Amino acid sequence: MPDKEKALKFFKHEKEIQLVSQFYRNLGIFLANPLINTSITPNQISAISIIIALSGVYVLSLGTYSYFVLGAILFQVSIILDRVDGALARRKNMASTFGKWIEYNFDVITDVLIIFGATIGLFIQTNSSLVLILGMIFIMLRVLILNINTALFVCFDSPGEVFNKETQNKLITQFIPTRTLIFLLFTVFILFNRLYEFLIFIDIYLAIFFLVSLIYLSFEIWQKENG
């Protein structure tokens, strides 16, 4: 078992560019540290996270304010546990490529399911077909944004080389729609009983981010090949 000094070590790849993501990362590390010298495994934490996330999907689909709040809280717990299992795996030397693969795909699937559950719940509450359209737009934009990342890995051996580090703005990076940021906003909007407004806001937010990212990256790639 790792000693306390090693257990509290902050790994280089645990540094996030966004304050919200860093907060969740630090919280996961904080909760993982007491578990290092126990028999609890990262896979057990992952299993609990999956069960809680799927429970959140079901609760959100029930369509009342109290269920929306409970579902959002359950998903927040799932996101935090998702950070705990990664931190625990690194500190127990149990991290693996397969584990990262499963975790990444699970995150993508649950993100879609959570919005799907919330959309169904809001549709039951409002009986508005526009809610279904807004939910589908969110899912489509999430897929398109994920595809940008995939395209970078397909086209470049080192995707990071595309970005112009000299012009990167630390303030702008705080507004990148990371998973943690999106679902923190999701929870805040739900607490104020504004799920409908969240779907409108997040669709506009993601659409702007997608278009700006596509234009920026296309320009950077063209410049690298022709500059």
pLDDT of 204-225, one tens digit each? 999 999 999 899 888 888 887 7
Q: What is the mean pLDDT of residues 119-137?
A: 96
What is the Cα–Cα distance from 208 to 12, expressed in whole angstroms?
A: 31
Cα distances (Å, whole numbers) of residue 137 to 46, 133, 175: 29, 6, 20
Q: Are 199 and 140 in contact (CB under 8 A)?
A: no
Q: Are 52 and 77 in contact (CB under 8 A)?
A: yes
What is the Cα–Cα distance from 204 to 37, expressed in whole angstroms?
A: 46
Nearest to 85 by CA among 75, 74, 96: 96
pLDDT above 70 coverage of the chain, percent: 89
pLDDT confidence of residue 1: 42
* Digit-coded pLDDT (tens) for 148-207: 888 888 887 777 777 665 555 677 788 889 999 999 999 999 999 999 999 999 999 999
CB burial string 211-220: b at 16+ within 10 A, e below: eebeeebeeb
Nearest to 49 by CA among 24, 73, 82, 25: 82
pLDDT at position 2 over 60: no
pTM of the model: 0.87
